[in-house]
Structure 1
């Protein structure tokens, strides 16, 4: 369970950064830039919240991939 939490936290930070970048591009590269002082805090808050379920959905898949990869026979055992 501890590994799943650590993987979730790692993925959360990555997902939150990507979502924040997308949100900032949308705000600053469109006519919404006139309202940037109001929208930027909203982007931060929304990406902070949206990243949680995304990370919780991706973490079990990464953990399953890690388990599957560790069970595969290695190249050295085939020789």
Structure 2
């Protein structure tokens, strides 16, 4: 199992939790709220796909060698 996959798996859980929360709140506050029980599986699937892609994209940026090369606070310079 690659390091990128391990980091992405840990990120996925956190991103999925936040995306599911945001998607559920958006669904319940929208005019589609009467259909929420039918649409909730789509929210789960959509947020899982978005979370997987986002965590795979973010994983290389969290590796220690990236922090050594660029430094954690290089964006402040």
Same fold (TM over 0.5): yes
Structure of higher CA gyration radius: 1
TM-score (ref. length: structure 2): 0.77
Deviation at 1:13, TM superposition (A): 1.0
Deviation at 1:8, TM superposition (A): 0.7
TM-score (ref. length: structure 1): 0.75
Correspondence for 1:67: 65
Unaligned 5+ segments in structure 2 are 70-77
**Structure richer in helix, relative to its length:** 1
Deviation at 1:27, TM superposition (A): 0.6
Give the number of equivalent residue pairs.
70
Correspondence for 2:30: 30
CA distance in 2, matches of 1:42, 1:23: 10
Deviation at 1:70, TM superposition (A): 5.3
RMSD: 1.9
